[in-house]
Amino acid sequence: MICALLLTFISFPFSPSQCSFSTSPFTPKAVFARPETLALQAQTSSAQTQTSIAAHANAQMNFPGAASGFGLATTKKFLSEGAKVVAADMNTTALSKQYPPNSSQSISLAAVTANVTSAADWTKLVETAESKFGGLDIVVNNAGTSYKNKPTLEVTEDEFDRVMAVNVKSIYLSVNVCVPALKKRGGGSIVNIASIGAMRPRPGLVWYNASKGAVANVSYSLSSRV
């Protein structure tokens, strides 16, 4: 199954008149890095999982959720384009498998085990980008999760909290630590991966839809505020 998603893109030189924002529904065959579009052929049957921090051609990039699915395909594309990437995921084993420590790509890659719902881990990711690659230019908020399709009244509080923490709180945490780092470089790009559910809510996934609606909305808001 190829899942459609909504990509929200913010590019900012930190002047409100120059801020830009776009939403683009598409199947996972294209991603944005900086204002350019990178062609990415990606076939995936799995849902988004937590992972991500990345960079493109002399740009340094943070990419959570980089060990599987969209995150893995996107990170590999960035690397092939000459990016320097901090690839993050909660799954240490998967990270090691996809990005072996002593591989030829290790000079342009830092694989870091991280939880995007942790402020301390976001600080660690940015510090890694700055210490290993000299700074941060692009942030891709790819981490995401959901629960099994079910009637809304059967969704547990723990399921609700997890969806909101991974899909929404993670972006809040990323902005607090990443925007100051991007400003040091004179500007940069933030890519937030939402879902077509943000605009066309699907039954049985009320709170997932709501979380992705928040991703799209916060991206609109950020584009005029940072």
Q: What is the 3-state secondary structure (H, E, C) of 22-38?
A: EEEEECCCEEEECCEEE
Catalytic status, residue 208: yes
Q: Determine the Cα angle at 220 with ends 218 and 225, to 5°.
A: 85
Q: How far apart are the first and last CA of the chain?
A: 36
Q: Are strands 60-64 and 20-26 parallel, antiparallel or unpaired?
A: unpaired
- C-alpha to C-alpha distance for 148 and 209, rounded to whole angstroms: 13
- C-alpha to C-alpha distance for 109 and 104, rounded to whole angstroms: 10
Per the residue annotation, which of 99, 147, 208, 220 is the catalytic one?
208
The residues that bridge with 38 in the sheet, in sequence order, are 31
Catalytic residues: 208
